[in-house]
Chains A and B, each alone.
Chain A
Amino acid sequence: MSINGKAFIAGAYEHPDREIKGKSLARIHAEVAYGALQDAGLSVDDVDGYFCAGDAPGFGGISMAEYLGFSKLRHIDSTETGGSSYVVAVGHAAEAIAAGKCSVAVITLAGAPRAAGMRVLGGGGGRGRGWGDTPEVSFEGPFGPNVLGFYALAARRHMYEFGTTSEQLAWIRVAASKHASHNPHALLRDVVTVEDVLHSPMVADPLHRLDSCVITDGGGAVIVVSPEVARDLERKSVKILGHGEGVKHTNNGHIDLTYTAAVISGKQAFEEAGVTPSDIDYASIYDSFTITVLIQIEDLGFCEKGKGGAFVSDGALESPNGVLPFNTDGGGLCNNHPNNRGGMTKVIEAVRQLRGEANAPVQVPDCQIALAHGTGGTIGARHGSGTVILGQPDA
């Protein structure tokens, strides 16, 4: 069964704040859920499906269903794939709708690590104990594998095998910063140069501070609905054309750091959508670090494996004139990476582009087909990926 054309995104909402004090986690989930429902022109009484991930407080999705006032749920899903969970959830919601299991699905993300004082990604990592029964913990935790280190391992190997340079990675940050300069909500709005990135302090060689994403509070939500529901709404919906997901891990001691699970999720999404990378007008690419973007661009098929460095250079990712306009909200690198989970904002900006509602200077003219891709976990060890391809309602 294909989900192509069987579900639509009817509402999307990104929390406008980047630091949120004095609000509970449940309250932030409520703000984004209601924001997205209002965007769609729907209410809590219309909701019969709820999708959340590990950031939702309480007992799976059940505590939040109660808090939010969803009293007609007949489908629930709390799949956890880290930052990609919300991209995966769009696909799962489309599957459920296509199977007739629900007709109005809400997906939420919220969190407030910045208000809690977090300033370094994985700043406490790691230890030998503390992750309960997680089986790999004693073989990794004792060696201090924080997020910065894990991604630096992937960057180093890519440089070693393919000659990728820090300057090429810096071009990714430059494009994101130019986009963020047009976003009044972005945490970092200053345009940076390649030199700025290269002169920023090393956080884990070969990655610099400006190769890293921001740490922000907030979240977002999207509403996925059936074609029948979408047809009756005044607000423009976008059609879900394809979806894929995948898991990659250390593979019994044979980890290959040069690719991600985007190889798996992207292929499925393109096949289901019936399009190719050259058909994509706009791409939201997960950007925990610059290296994440570069490897995923290769894995999704926008260029050959190993050629990502050349591909992203010289403004190729800048909107509207680059070869592949990406992350026009400024992305996780400059705008927002709420609760260290960037998948939701990837979906939301793709919806904005298809609705023609991106910030004017970075709106892709006549945007017909958009891709949103997420990675959750770490490309340095194990992660889950989700890819969705979205189109105009009449696509």
Chain B
Amino acid sequence: MPELPVFPPTVSPEAKPFWDATAEGKILLPKCNDCGTVIWYPRTTCPECMSSDVSWFEASGRGTIYSFAVVRRNGGPWRDALPYVLAYVELEEGPRILTNIVDTIDLECGQSVEAVFADTGEGNALVRFKTV
């Protein structure tokens, strides 16, 4: 599999705990202290109940493939990475997150995956996944 390009994120003030944790190989998710919902993508206002009382907890890093695409045409920095896998992974904690599967294009919906972390060089990492 070709190496995927790594783009540093824009770190919003509200998502900084998420990004800081990725540098240590951890996925921190925000959870609403008032209604208990797990929030994705990371932010500190609850889209279910409007609360701003949000705390962070560590996710397991395990999940299953909700859907995946094998992208064979793209330009720019992605050209050299073709074909690559774009996927939604459903984390054990619930959220379906957009990501890449890095180790194979031979996949199925429902397959188990675990997180890997791609260092951006800016004090954080991108959360990608590999099959288990």
* Contacts known (A122-B74, A123-B74, A129-B7); A149 close to B69, Cβ less than 8 A: yes
Query: How many B residues have CB within 8 A of the partner chain?
Result: 50
A136 on the B face (CB < 8 A): yes
A-side contacts of B71, CB under 8 Å: 144, 146, 148-149, 152, 203-204
* Measured CA separation A82–B36 after assembly (Å): 34
Binary contact readout B114-132 vs A (1 if CB under 8 angstroms, 0 otherwise): 0000001000001010000
Interface size class, chain A: 35 or more
A142 on the B face (CB < 8 A): yes
Question: DSSP class of B's interface residues: helix, strand, loop or mixed?
Answer: loop
- Most B-side CB within 10 Å, residue of A129, A250, A253: A253
**Cross-chain contact of B98 among A122, A145, A148 (Cβ < 8 A):** A145
Q: Interface stretch among A89-97, A154-162, A177-185?
A: A154-162
* Measured CA separation A125–B96 after assembly (Å): 20
Nearest to B79 among chain A residues (CB) is A123
Q: In the complex the two chains form, is A124's CB within 8 Å of B75's CB?
A: yes
A-side contacts of B97, CB under 8 Å: 139, 253
A-side contacts of B74, CB under 8 Å: 120, 122-125, 144, 146, 148-149
B50 on the A face (CB < 8 A): no
Binary contact readout A174-207 vs B (1 if CB under 8 angstroms, 0 otherwise): 0000000000000000000000000001111111
Q: In the complex the two chains form, is A138's CB within 8 Å of B69's CB?
A: no
By a beta-carbon cutoff of 8 Å, the part of chain B in contact with chain A is 4-12, 15, 37-43, 47-48, 66-78, 81, 84, 86-88, 94-100, 105, 109-110, 120, 126, 128
By a beta-carbon cutoff of 8 Å, the part of chain A in contact with chain B is 120, 122-125, 127-129, 135-146, 148-150, 152-157, 160, 201-207, 250, 252-255, 257, 381
